[in-house]
Structure 1
Amino acid sequence: MPSERDRRQWPGTLPPAAGSPRRGPGSVRRTTSVDIERPAGPSGDLVLTGRGRDLLTTADGTSVAVAQAHTSVVIDFVGDRRIRSVHADPPVDGIDALIGARAGSGFRRQLAEAVPELASTGSLVHLLLDDTTPAVLISGSSLAREGLLTLVADRGRARLPFGICAGWQHGGAMEEAIAETGVPLLGWGPPAPDLGDGSDPDAWHDMPALAPASMRRRRRLDVAAVDGRLVVDVRYRDSYWERDGAETVVHEYAVEAAVDLAERRLVGAVAHPGPLPAPECPTAAASAADLAGVGLDELRDVVRERFVGVSTCTHLNDVLRSLADVGALWDAAEATGAVLS
């Protein structure tokens, strides 16, 4: 269980967001969620349930559904983290090849090999399946929160990802906490305010209530055309359900970006950190500015190859990768024939 030291709010960490901005006329909103659950208990399979929706708001304020998707990935987490089953709706030919694949490092490469054309579509299904690796990564923190995961002296520490991101710096608060308590800082964040809009029942897609010890990753991505640019507003949050049913924030970021509509190239991006596990984590927000000038078609490769080390954040990288879908999302909205302006 957490110590009082773990529960403190780190200096410089901003409060979590509450609510969502109103959907503007002529905009499109993508919302996704991945529920991270162990229905059979800590020793059972890890079940990832993805849901998503793309919703267009026309010039007169009418809502038009552009796309919806649902995915399910069942993983032998206690074993070697191999995928037992994978499903997608709309169906995707070739994803059965992922059965037996490891859901950790290397999964995205295997996804690209199994369904090479999926990433270029910018589809909801691709985004939901692409979140498999980070969902598995953060799922371990639910075990630690329940007191079921500890590190054994140097043997456990040798496997820790020091140097991978801002929060896992050598000599940082994460390493200090492990030395003192045997577990990393877990980001015992604040209560999670509702991200919905009480005046707009369509602000988000439907999401079920979760059981204690479950987690959820959710995103909202708003896109609108302004003066030859696509203006993008993103909110991302990972949250955890405590034993008493309260939802608390684990990771949260907001990202604002602009894309040249004709060239499909990022003009700029700014990240705003919310609650994060360690005091060093917010420093990674500055890395978003390095995306200026990057084309949407190369964005995922650029993030994978260049956004590494202690100046970056693996979770922020996931948010930045999702910007690659902005052009395809806007094209799909225009293809509906609805009036956007």
Structure 2
Amino acid sequence: MTPSNGGDPVVLREDTMRAGINSATRTIEQIEAHPTRPNVTKLIGSRGGGNSRAALAEAMADEAAAGTPLYLLLDDIAGASLIAGFAYSRWIDRDLLMQEISARPVRDMTGICTGFQPGSGALMPDGSSKWTHQVQPVQPLPLGGDPLSWHALEEITEMAMRRARRIDVHVGDVITIDSMFQDSSTVPTGGRVAVHEYRLTATADPDTGELLTIDADPRVLPYDECPLASRNVGKALGTPLSELRTVVLDKFSGTEGCTHLNDAMRALAEVPVLVRALREDEHRRARP
């Protein structure tokens, strides 16, 4: 929290987790959290993108209710494990990559999201992905010379993927939200390239927490059709922020949404916790 009076920022809560995930099946094989939570090991055996979120909701219900950073990190396993293989595609010879892909069972991607809608240029005739991702070089975080804008990020030069997420909140006449996420990979020549980057801005009612406005700005996406998902975000208007985790999955399934934009909207369910911290600080400063 950055005080409005210009004082030093205060770390309100910090969690870390480390997981080992099978690259072929996306199954969680080992996991730990710091500070320690015994229930986190109940996620072992669940599969990112499969049953991991259902297992998470059951095993870590208390974390969800408290809106802890750990719950957001664990919820991101589904999306992060999905995109992790993109880093491999940046480091391996293109011809060898295509040979490996052609040897795999064909997965029909048609209709799973806006980018893979029927007739999309991202699809092969058999419904599989073309693997012709559009990418953009990106600058290292933090940007703009603001050392407080991000926590410390390890500088990695070998093959690696990173999902960076930011949610900034201000409370005035309305709750103002400015958030973004970026999926980026290292490349053999140095630096990083992004395959996904979205910015979300929104406002919410300070009393009810209902979403009043929302705008999605697609910065970097892999296929020409992907940005079309941003046209649909208005369907979330009127939803209480705390209910976005479930409502987004219902209203933005299939070609109505984008896996990664959906994750960005679902993450806004954490905003009420940040708002509560700001109000508590305001009350403390108002006391005589």
Assess same fold via TM > 0.5. yes
Q: CA deviation at 1:141?
A: 2.1
Encode CA deviations 1:294-328: one digit per residue, 9 max, x unaligned. Answer: 01232111111111122311100000001111011
Q: CA deviation at 1:171?
A: 1.8
How far apart are the structure 1 equivalents of 2:161 and 2:262? 19
Structure 2: tracts of 5 or more residues without a match: none
Higher relative contact order (CA 8 A, sep 6+): 1
1:201 corresponding residue in structure 2: 147
User: Cα 1:197–1:82, aligned 2, differ >3 Å: closer, same or farther?
Assistant: closer
User: Cα 1:294–1:319, aligned 2, differ >3 Å: closer, same or farther?
Assistant: same
Q: How many residues align?
A: 279
Is 1:170 equivalent to 2:115 in the alignment? no
Encode CA deviations 1:202-261: one digit per residue, 9 max, x unaligned. Answer: 11100101233211001111100121x110001111101111222001101111111111
1:254 corresponding residue in structure 2: 199
Name the structure where helix makes up a greater proportion of residues: 2
How far apart are the structure 2 equivalents of 1:74 and 1:335? 37
Identity of aligned residues (%): 34
What aligned pairs does 1:1-341 form with structure 2 within 5 A after superposition? 56-62=1-7, 63-78=9-24, 80-145=25-90, 146=92, 147-148=96-97, 150-152=100-102, 156-157=105-106, 159-176=107-124, 184-227=130-173, 229-336=174-281, 339=285
Q: CA deviation at 1:162?
A: 1.6
TM-score normalised by L of structure 2: 0.89
1:51 corresponding residue in structure 2: none
How far apart are the structure 1 equivalents of 2:208 and 2:153? 36
The one-letter amino acid of 2:189's match is: D
Name the structure where strand makes up a greater proportion of residues: 1
User: Cα 1:71–1:139, aligned 2, differ >3 Å: closer, same or farther?
Assistant: same
The one-letter amino acid of 1:139's match is: A
SS of alignment partner, residue 72 of structure 1: strand
Contact 2:123–2:129, Cα closer than 8 Å, also in 1: no
How far apart are the structure 2 equivalents of 1:161 and 1:65? 42
SS of alignment partner, residue 230 of structure 2: helix
How far apart are the structure 2 equivalents of 1:338 and 1:241? 44
1:7 corresponding residue in structure 2: none
SS of alignment partner, residue 211 of structure 2: strand
Cα root mean square deviation, aligned: 2.3
TM-score normalised by L of structure 1: 0.76
